[in-house]
Amino acid sequence: MSSSPANRFLAPVFQALSPRLWELSTSPYFQGQVLIVGAGLAGLTAAYMLKQQGLRPIIVEAKKRPAGRLANLRNWADMPLELGAEWLHGQRSTLFRWLDGQYQNQIVEDEGEEFVPYKQQLRALEDYPGAEVLLERLNELGYEEAPIKGNLLDWAEQNGIDQALYPLLEYWAGEWGCSAKELGIEALAKINRQWSSGDLDFKAEPSLYDLIDESLIRPLRPYLQLGQVVKHIDYSGAQIKVFTQDQTIVVDKLLLTVPLPVLQKESISFAPSLPSAKTAAIQRLKMGDGLKIFFKFNRLFWSGDIIGAKMASSYIDTQAYKSGKDAILCAWAFGEKAEILRNMGQELASRAILAELDSLYVGAASSHFEKYYWQDWSQEEHIWGAYSYPSNSEQPGDRAELQAPIDYKLYFAGEACHPKGHIQSLHGAFETGYEAALQILMDLNVS
């Protein structure tokens, strides 16, 4: 591997993650052309690994920009708005360790205080009766009690949870990218047991996207082909033929990193068809409905984040830990809340959110409101959702089945196919991209 600054931190992180595959991938000679479909974090990570081993991967991306569900909005405020992912989850995660090694002074732990609506007022989480105990129990699901069948609301009913705490159930489900009635308890308990990345969260300055842009996207610009929509993949022969809207690409190995809904919608056809076990797993897994609405005000009138609200899953203090001074509050909505807001239309939904904030801050929201910006990931072409979540429909082994290669030709990566609990996270995508790249290198080495 090269001795670039980024790679000096990358090598020990990945070597610790998978020593055997790392050893098999260290041959100095690899031959073969690799195509990566999708320039989200999984695809970028894999491409970076392959590039470091001397290959020249081709990366095709349907959108006109790279990075998938990582995206920035600039020049709307005096700081870049993170339209998609904005946290690094877990102090032990591979992605945190890699980025922290390069950008230690730009990554800060998110220790913001959380407040809960209580009788038209806000209470600190620790002062809300039963709130901290409930969230602790949810964090420990799968460790101290046998998981029940059903969804989060079923669990709450069977455990006698006070209905006054139900808004916190919706907040918690929103953290997973869905509604309480969509969150499968058995699948959630399994993920809780598998999660190994730690319990701290971090933000980046100026933004997480900027760090990924500098460390991954810029080095890979020569290999990126944007606006290339893959229509058909023929892997019936010795080589793979990939058809986009205006070209045919012939390669030896193909890594597919498109979001789960792209596969569910069958936007890409395959010859031969994908194995039935894989297609069944694809259809059982679920991607959450999610959107973010940013509100700019002419002054700051709040402190911390709001969880357990009515209109949104949570309200996030966007400018916290940022160098910008603009007062920005972001409404996160997932599952049913996202659907309700979307059906209301942007203008009416924004007024409803301002009304809820007015009720909590004595009219301050409407008085100081300037403008809003709406980012609806479920309507984003070529993405169609926020992130995958643990559902009742998924079965044990579905994510491993989605990740499994086919005929030493087709490989799969992305947060939805992480088999060890790191779904709906950037580091889950990062890890599956790395593992796919090492598997491709190993297969090139023995073919």
Q: What is the pLDDT of residues 289-348, one digit of tens each?
A: 999 999 999 999 999 999 999 999 999 999 899 999 999 999 999 999 999 999 999 999
CATH of the domain at 437: 3.50.50.60
> Over 80: is that where the pLDDT of 94 sits?
yes
Residue 407 lies in a domain: yes
Amino acid symbol at 350: S
Q: What is the mean pLDDT of the chain?
A: 93
Residue 360 lies in a domain: no
* Phi, psi for residue 105 in degrees, rounded to 5: -80, -5
* C-alpha to C-alpha distances, 398 to 47, 200, 281, 417, nearest whole angstrom: 25, 28, 5, 8
Residue 59 lies in a domain: yes
- For residue 82, which of 365, 288, 294, 290 has the smallest C-alpha distance? 294
pLDDT digits (tens, 9 = 90+) for 402-436: 999 999 999 999 999 999 999 999 999 999 999 99
Residue 148 lies in a domain: no
Residue 159 lies in a domain: no
Which two tokens mark 224?
A: 């990126």
Q: What is the pTM of this model?
A: 0.94
> What confidence score (pLDDT) does residue 13 get?
63
Our count of domains for the chain comes to 1
Residue 289 · residue 386 · CB < 8 Å: yes
Residue 426 lies in a domain: yes
Residue 395 · residue 402 · CB < 8 Å: no
Query: What is the mean predicted confidence (pLDDT) over 99-125?
Result: 93
pLDDT bucket at 31, cuts 50 / 70 / 90: confident
Quote the domain boundaries for residue 264.
5-68+206-285+393-446
> Over 50: is that where the pLDDT of 1 sits?
no
Residue 138 lies in a domain: no
Residue 133 lies in a domain: no
